[in-house]
C-alpha cells in the first residue's frame, strides 16, 4: 500500500542504512553479461528465488536508533515508553506509534476541522483513516522450530487502542489470532495462515525490509473484512509486529510479545 499524499512535516529517519554494490569489467569483443537484458532477467529471477527460499538475510534496524520528527521537534524512539501507544501531533499531522524492545509500528493520519460556513456553527473534527507506514526493527534471522506461544499486545487505529492476541505454532509453522476492544471494527479474527518470507517498503522512512512473517485473511463472523500481515522480531522471535488492512476503517497497527 502507498501514501498518495506527500509527507510534509512528519519524517521518519532510520539510521545505519547502507548500500553496497559490485562491478566488473568485460572484454572488448562484445557487451558484458551484466549489460544484456537476459542477464538482468536471470539476476532478478535468482534474487527472487533467494528471497523465496529465505537465503537472503533478514533486515535488521536498531529500534533505539529511530527518531520521529514533527515540525521542529524530534522525538527519540528510545525515550518512548515500551508497550504503550504514543500520540504525536503537529498541526493537522498526527502519528501514532507503538514501541517494543525489538520493533516499532507507526501510522500517520491527518485531522481536518469542518464547519457549516458561519461563525456560529460549531467546529467538527474529522480524522482521516490511518495508514501504517512503518514496521521495522531487529528482524528474527532464524525462527524457532518447536513450541507454541501466545503473543499479547496492542492493536491501534487513528483514535482507539485495543488488544492483539496472536497464537503461533512453530511446529506446524502457522499462526492465528484476534483483535479485540476496537469499537470501529468490533472483534475481528486473524485467520490461520502459514509462515512466509515477507518483503515490503516503509513509506514513512523509505527503508526496504525483509523478515520472516505471516499473512492471512481477516474476518468478522462469516464476513471477510480485510487482510493482515505481521513479522517476527527479536533474536528468538520474541515479538510480532504488523498491520491489519481493514476494508472499512483503514489500517490498524498490531504488535505483541510472548
Mean residue pLDDT of the chain comes to 81
Q: How many helices and strands (H and E) does the chain possess?
A: 1, 16
Which range, of 43-52, 112-121, 223-232, averages the lowest pLDDT? Answer: 43-52
Sign of the dihedral through C-alpha 190, 202, 21, 58: negative
Structural domains of the chain sorted by starting position, each given as residue range(s) with its CATH number in brackets: 1-15+36-258 (2.40.160.90)
| 256 — pLDDT class (breaks 50, 70, 90) | very high
Residue among 255, 236, 242, 215 nearest 146 (CA): 236
Residue among 217, 256, 254 nearest 130 (CA): 254
State the pLDDT at residue 215.
Answer: 98
Residue among 225, 242, 10 nearest 110 (CA): 10
Residue 15, pLDDT above cutoff 60: no
Q: Is residue 241 within 8 Å of residue 100, measured between CB atoms?
A: yes
State the pLDDT at residue 118.
Answer: 63
pLDDT over 70, % of the chain = 74
State the pLDDT at residue 120.
Answer: 67
R_g (Cα) of the chain, nearest Å: 21
- How far is it, in rounded angstroms, from Cα 245 to Cα 252? 7
Residue 57, pLDDT above cutoff 70: no
C-alpha cell at 63: 529500534
**What is the pairing mode between strands 67-70 and 174-180?**
unpaired
Residue 4, pLDDT above cutoff 60: no
Q: For 164, phi and psi rounded to 5 degrees?
A: -105, 130
Q: With residue 70 as reference, give the H or E element that holds it.
A: strand 67-70
Q: Is residue 195 within 8 Å of residue 204, measured between CB atoms?
A: no
- How far is it, in rounded angstroms, from Cα 1 to Cα 60? 22
- When pLDDT is averaged across residues 90-115 and rounded to a whole number, the result is 89
Residue 112, pLDDT above cutoff 50: yes
Q: How big is the CA angle at 103 (ends 189 and 60), to the nearest 5 degrees?
A: 120
pTM confidence score = 0.75
State the pLDDT at residue 169.
Answer: 99
- When pLDDT is averaged across residues 75-100 and rounded to a whole number, the result is 89
Highest mean pLDDT among 7-16, 85-94, 141-150: 141-150
Residue 157, pLDDT above cutoff 90: yes
- How far is it, in rounded angstroms, from Cα 52 to Cα 38? 21
Amino acid at each position: 500500500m502507498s501514501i498518495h499524499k506527500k509527507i510534509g512535516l512528519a519524517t521518519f529517519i532510520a539510521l545505519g542504512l547502507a548500500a553496497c554494490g559490485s562491478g566488473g569489467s568485460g572484454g572488448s569483443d562484445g557487451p558484458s553479461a551484466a549489460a544484456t537484458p537476459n542477464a538482468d532477467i536471470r539476476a532478478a529471477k535468482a534474487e527472487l528465488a533467494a528471497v523465496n527460499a529465505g537465503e537472503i538475510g533478514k533486515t535488521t534496524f536498531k529500534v533505539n536508533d529511530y527518531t520521529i520528527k514533527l515540525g521542529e521537534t524530534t522525538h527519540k524512539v528510545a525515550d518512548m515508553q515500551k508497550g504503550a501507544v504514543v500520540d504525536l501531533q503537529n498541526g493537522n499531522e498526527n502519528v501514532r506509534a507503538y514501541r517494543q524492545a525489538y520493533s516499532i509500528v507507526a501510522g500517520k493520519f491527518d485531522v481536518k476541522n469542518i464547519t457549516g460556513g458561519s461563525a456560529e456553527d460549531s467546529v467538527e473534527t474529522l480524522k482521516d483513516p490511518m495508514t501504517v507506514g512503518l514496521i521495522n526493527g531487529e528482524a528474527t534471522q532464524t525462527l524457532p522450530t518447536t513450541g507454541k506461544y501466545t503473543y499479547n499486545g496492542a492493536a491501534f487505529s487513528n483514535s482507539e487502542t485495543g488488544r492483539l492476541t496472536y497464537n503461533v505454532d512453530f511446529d506446524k509453522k502457522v499462526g492465528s489470532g484476534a483483535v479485540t476492544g476496537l469499537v470501529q471494527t468490533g472483534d475481528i479474527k486473524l485467520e490461520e495462515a502459514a509462515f512466509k518470507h515477507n518483503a515490503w517498503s516503509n513509506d514513512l522512512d523509505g527503508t526496504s525490509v525483509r523478515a520472516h512473517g505471516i499473512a492471512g485473511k481477516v474476518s468478522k463472523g462469516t464476513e471477510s473484512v480485510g487482510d493482515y500481515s505481521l513479522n517476527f522480531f527479536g533474536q528468538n522471535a520474541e515479538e510480532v509486529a504488523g498491520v491489519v488492512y481493514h476494508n472499512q476503517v483503514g489500517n490498524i497497527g498490531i504488535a505483541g510479545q510472548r
